[in-house]
Amino acid sequence: MKRMALGFLLIIGISTAVFSVEETWLSVGGSFGNYFDRGSDIGNFYYGSSGANLNVYGFSNQNNIGYFTNFGLQYPLVNNIGNNYQPIIQADLLLGVGFRYNINERLSLRFGVGPNISIFALEDMANDNEKTEEKRIMLGIGGDAGIKYDITDVIYIDFGTALLFNFAGHSWVDSTIDNWTNTRRESFGWISGYSMFGIRPYIAIGFNYYQERGWWGKPDR
């Protein structure tokens, strides 16, 4: 588990280091994701999650190929997990190669593809005397696609969708009877036959930054 997670972090680091960024697109907004989980150990379930979305694209020398990062921090609002479990928090991180296509001076298409890492935590609410938490880390691939419209040279509106497919999931379950002063490990290991598909649309407000001139705005074309 540790080796695979470190391998994903290495891929992320290499992807970022390959590009010398001069032009950055940064947007922050809201999203709602739909996720479909399945595994031999957990069954099939769905959760719909609302939260915040962070998007970053970087390009150099006015190239149309660069890097991208998409991060979603969310809380599952609806689910069919059952078994008295309630979600605590969820997060997705996508990072890889980014692309853009400028339709005109104001409107651009952008998309990216790369590895994904997700985390998910749940709490068992069935017993008032004993608390049980399950934590999961999922690894896979994903992509991001959207439309960027520049309101001014500095500010833009960002419409997009993050897609991800996780093909490996690791789970560990801990319990306590004294509010986490002492814990007991109930289970630890890979989820057999695991897969997860997610689609997370978002809308955000963004900012253009051009590093070569040290200002917020767009470079001269």
Identify whether 154 is part of a domain.
yes
Identify whether 56 is part of a domain.
yes
Q: Which two tokens stand for residue 180?
A: 């986490």
Identify whether 7 is part of a domain.
yes
Q: What is the pLDDT along the chain (221 residues), one digit of tens a residue?
A: 445 455 545 554 555 444 556 788 999 999 999 999 888 877 788 888 999 999 999 988 778 999 999 999 998 888 777 666 677 888 999 999 999 999 998 999 999 999 999 998 888 766 667 778 888 899 999 999 999 999 998 999 999 999 999 999 888 888 787 777 777 777 778 888 899 999 999 999 999 987 666 666 766 65
CATH assignment at residue 33: 2.40.160.20
- Rounded to a whole number of angstroms, the CA Rg of the chain reads 20
Structurally, the chain folds into a number of domains equal to: 1
Neighbour tally for 26: CB within 10 Å: 19
**Residue 12 is part of which domain span?**
2-115+143-167+194-216
Question: 88-101: buried (b, 16+ CB within 10 Å) or exposed (e) per residue?
Answer: eebebbbbbebbbe
Identify whether 18 is part of a domain.
yes
Identify whether 64 is part of a domain.
yes
Identify whether 97 is part of a domain.
yes
Q: What is the pTM of this model?
A: 0.82
Identify whether 49 is part of a domain.
yes
Identify whether 203 is part of a domain.
yes
